[in-house]
Amino acid sequence: MIPLSPTLTGQILIAMPQMSDTRFNQSVIFLCAHSPEGAMGIILNQPLKTPKFADLLRQLEIEPTPPSREIRLCTGGPVDNNRGFVLHSPDWTTDSSMDVDGTHMLTASLDILQAVALGGGPERCLMALGYAGWGPGQLDEEIKQNAWLNAPADENLLFDTDNGSKWQRALAKLRINPAMLSSDAGRA
């Protein structure tokens, strides 16, 4: 595990096998914010079956114009799951975009969906409905209780569509075999 730093913003969280909250079973989460006030992240490996991106655009009354694009939709977490967030590369921004870590942006306005519907927008992106959230100190305590591992994020884990292996690949970044993980927290 990478040492707990004052902020884990821009890193990924990897759920340990004994995660008691089934909503986070084998989850890989990109942390968009982490501070003493709390934390917020997007689950990367829980794809949405419905709605499809085109259906979502119709619901929002956005008319795609060729060459329209598709973007991946996922369940971002159990909090505010009617609200959409687009995690994306920094090659496209708007005034409402939040710079997460200098390499990734988060946008929660319709501007980005309109740009994508017209064939533009950021090169790499995914849209999440909802997010994962933690109150002050809650995430740090969960990490101390051995519920999560943290690691640097990489573009493939964030944006590729291979959700079935994302958890194993995230663990592999730390050179961890899932079969070797223990549910006991230790102290050095």
Task: Let me know: does 143 contact 11? Beta carbons within 8 Å.
Answer: no
pLDDT the model gives residue 55: 87
Domains of the chain (ranges; CATH) run 11-178 (3.40.1740.10)
Instruction: Please give the DSSP secondary-structure letter assigned to residue 181.
Output: -
Q: How would you write the pLDDT of the chain (188 residues) with one tens digit per residue?
A: 344 446 899 999 999 998 989 999 999 999 999 999 999 999 999 999 888 888 888 888 888 877 678 899 999 999 999 899 999 999 999 999 999 999 999 999 999 999 999 889 999 999 999 999 999 999 999 999 999 999 999 999 999 999 999 999 999 999 998 777 755 555 44
100, 10 contact by CB (below 8 A): yes
Scanning the chain, the segments in alpha helix (DSSP H) are 53-59, 110-117, 138-144, 155-159, 166-173
The pLDDT of residue 54 is 85
Q: For position 156, what pLDDT does the model report?
A: 92
For 54, half-sphere exposure in the C-beta direction (CA atoms, 13 angstrom radius) is: 5
Residue 67, pLDDT score: 66
CB atoms under 10 Å from CB of 125, counted, come to 23
